[in-house]
């Protein structure tokens, strides 16, 4: 808030004022339209330009302001469902720039990073996976769509976050199919103040030496052993979950219960596996993580 003005309110009014202005407007014109002090308005214009909402063009001594294409304002939580449909539509059509603009609009409109991931990104990952499994798209198109989703997650990661030194998480994908899900989880953890070490696809590390390799990694990223170290493994197969869980077990046993292990994937109920949580739902994993982090001493 600046001098009694809410940034969200100014943003909505700017969109309304500039959306039909092909020739742009000066700062003075905008301040009169919105009824905001000219100096204050100038500060807002510069901030919104840095966020990608506006662009400016200097003509002589006059600076004209334009709305960037595709800008609009949303209301959350009501518009999450609308965004999911819009994101899927743009993804299938291959409108990458409009997708990234949509994500920025959501964030500028006050959307929660975690909610966007759970209600927009994660369902889209499943949708793309189903398209591929049903033969509606090939490998090349699947990889293209996955790349766009990954770049969307990158927008969330550009938001400055203050991390808690007591909240540490290592995120592992046990196979290539789980990479985007693990990226989504990593982004959610980061937005919630966790220190994230995202290892990506570790399927090539499935060998007898991984437990020693992982022990060395912990020694580097968790040197003073502050608070909690959470290890989260995503896998499309029970074999991947079982291998990494067994490999991490020796390190977990030496931690005085300060290393927690969560597994996300499908596994037979008859299979015995040692973990603190086993679920096929990313939302369950994130909620559980939030709960145990609140009890950190």
Q: What's residue 254's pLDDT?
A: 66
CB 200 within 8 A of CB 227: no
> What percentage of the chain has pLDDT greater than the value 90?
55
Which of 112, 128, 156 finishes a domain?
A: 156
236 and 272, same domain (yes or no): yes
pLDDT at 191: 96
What is the 8-class DSSP label of residue 2? B
CB atoms near residue 202 (< 10 Å): 23
Q: What is the mean pLDDT of the chain?
A: 89
Share of the chain above pLDDT 70, in %: 96
- Kindly report the CATH number assigned to the domain that includes residue 46: 1.10.10.10
* Whether 61 and 97 share a structural domain: no
Question: Does residue 162 sit within a domain?
Answer: no
Give strand pairing partners of 230: 169, 260
Are 267 and 208 in the same domain?
Answer: yes
Full-model pTM: 0.81
Residues 224 and 248 in one domain: yes
Nearest to 170 by CA among 113, 208, 210: 210
d(CA 115, CA 124): 13
pLDDT of residue 62: 87
**Per-residue model confidence (pLDDT) at position 152:** 96
- CB 229 within 8 Å of CB 196: no
Q: Which residues contact 188 (CB under 8 A, 6 or more apart)?
A: 113, 114, 117, 118, 286
SS3 state at 67: strand
Q: Are residues 216 and 238 in the same domain?
A: yes
Predicted pLDDT of residue 257: 78
Q: Is the peptide bond before 77 cis (omega within 30 degrees of 0)?
A: yes
Last residue of a domain, one of 135, 156, 177: 156
Write down the pLDDT at residue 3. Answer: 42
The pLDDT of residue 4 is above 70: no
Chain segment 34-45, per-residue pLDDT in tens: 888 888 888 889
What is the β-pairing status of strands 167-173 and 62-67? Answer: unpaired
> How does pLDDT run across 171-226, given as a tens digit for each residue?
999 999 999 999 999 999 999 999 999 999 999 988 878 989 999 999 999 988 89
Beta bridge partners of 55: 66
**pLDDT per residue over 218-270, tens digit each?**
999 998 889 999 999 999 988 899 999 998 888 776 666 789 999 999 877 77
Give the orientation angle of helix 122-133 with respect to helix 80-93, to 10 degrees.
40
139 lies in the same domain as 171: no
Domain carrying residue 61: 7-67
84 shares a domain with 29: no
Residue 268 sits in the same domain as residue 248 = yes
Flag whether 75 is in a domain.
no
pLDDT tens digits for 47-100?
Answer: 888 777 888 888 888 899 988 776 777 888 999 999 999 999 999 999 898 899
In a domain, 127, yes or no: yes
pLDDT value of position 23: 87
Res. 2 pLDDT band, cuts 50 70 90? very low
Please state the domain count of the chain: 3
Residue 278 and residue 212 share a domain: yes
pLDDT computed for residue 5 by the predictor:
52
Is 201 exposed, middle or buried, given 0-12, 13-18 or 19+ CB atoms closer than 10 A? Answer: middle
Tens digits of per-residue pLDDT, 104-129? 888 878 899 999 999 999 999 999 99
- Report how far residue 190's alpha carbon sits from residue 188's, in angstroms, rounded to the nearest whole number: 5
Q: Is residue 74 part of a domain?
A: no
Which of 45, 67, 89 is a domain's end point?
67
């Amino acid at each position: 808030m600046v001098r009694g003005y809410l940034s969200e309110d100014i943003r909505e009014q700017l969109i309304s004022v500039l959306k039909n202005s092909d020739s742009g407007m000066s700062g003075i014109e905008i301040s009169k339209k919105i009824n905001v002090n000219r100096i204050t308005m100038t500060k807002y214009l510069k901030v919104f330009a840095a966020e990608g909402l506006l662009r400016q063009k200097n003509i002589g001594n006059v600076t004209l302001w334009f709305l960037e294409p595709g800008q609009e304002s949303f209301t959350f939580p009501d518009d999450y469902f609308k965004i999911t449909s819009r994101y899927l539509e743009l993804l299938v059509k291959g409108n990458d720039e409009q997708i990234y603009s949509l994500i920025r609009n959501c964030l500028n409109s006050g959307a929660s990073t975690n909610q966007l991931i759970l209600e927009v990104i994660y369902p889209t990952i499943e949708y793309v996976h189903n398209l591929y499994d049903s033969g509606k798209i090939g490998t090349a198109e699947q990889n293209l769509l996955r790349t766009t989703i990954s770049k969307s997650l990158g927008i969330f990661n550009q938001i400055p976050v203050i991390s808690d030194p007591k909240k540490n998480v290592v995120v592992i994908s046990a196979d290539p199919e789980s990479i985007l899900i693990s990226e989504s989880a990593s982004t959610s953890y980061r937005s919630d103040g966790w220190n994230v070490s995202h290892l990506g696809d570790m399927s090539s590390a499935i060998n007898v030496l991984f437990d020693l390799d992982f022990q060395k990694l912990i020694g580097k990223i968790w040197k003073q052993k502050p608070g909690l170290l959470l290890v989260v493994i995503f896998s499309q197969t029970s074999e991947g979950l079982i291998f990494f869980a067994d490999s991490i077990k020796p390190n977990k046993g030496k931690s005085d219960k300060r290393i927690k292990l969560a597994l996300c994937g499908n596994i037979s109920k008859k299979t015995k596996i040692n973990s603190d949580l086993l679920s096929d739902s990313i939302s369950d994993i994130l909620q559980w993580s939030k709960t145990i982090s609140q009890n950190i001493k």
